[in-house]
Amino acid sequence: MTRSHNNRTAGSGAPMQRRTPAARVATLALLTTLALMFSYIEALIPAPGPPGVKLGIANIVVVICLYRFSAGEAAAVNLLRVALAGLLFTGLFGALYSAAGAVLSLIGMALLKKTNLFSMAGVSMAGGVLHNLGQLIVAAFLVEESAIFYYFPLLLFSGIASGILTGIVATLVARKLPARL
């Protein structure tokens, strides 16, 4: 008896499963939903410090997505999350700040990931710092005051701490996920 094309087997003898485009879109939609849920949870938690200092737990999903999918797909997940969170929780200005941080951090994380020199936690740490920098740039533009950049050292350290923490969690979670997420 011969195997059909759809029943090819991997080394274990189990049938190989191909990911259809619809399954890929569904997986990315679930990741977007999970990131949005984390944004909601974070919106409920009082800020652990001064304004602008947050844990960034939605970044766990974005970092995993960056490593398991393409940078473009991670950007889509992140920007959809930002837009939906803006509509549901943070409002227009919250979405504007978040979008600036999301774009800058994702560009930086994608570039660092490409070098293969940094761990997932290191890439996430850079993302945390760049996210805070992006938000600070928008704030300086909106209030038309460059003195706001004196706030950057605090945001630098909070970005480092939250980025490392979310990167470690992302690493631990990614290890437990199936290879074909």
Q: What is the pLDDT of residues 122-141, one digit of tens each?
A: 999 999 999 999 999 999 99
Nearest to 154 by CA among 25, 38, 71, 48: 48
Question: What is the pTM (predicted TM-score) of this model?
Answer: 0.84
Residue range 93-117, pLDDT digits in tens: 889 999 999 999 999 999 999 999 9
Are the C-beta atoms of 70 and 109 separated by less than 8 Å? no
Residue range 40-68, pLDDT digits in tens: 998 888 776 777 678 899 999 999 999 99
| Domains along the chain with CATH numbers | 21-176 (1.10.1760.20)
* Count of C-beta atoms within a 10 Å radius of residue 143: 10
Whole-angstrom CA distances from 63 to 8, 75, 85 are 32, 10, 18
What number is the average pLDDT over the span 1-20? Answer: 46
Phi and psi at residue 138, in whole multiples of 5°?
-65, -40
Nearest to 163 by CA among 22, 40, 60: 60
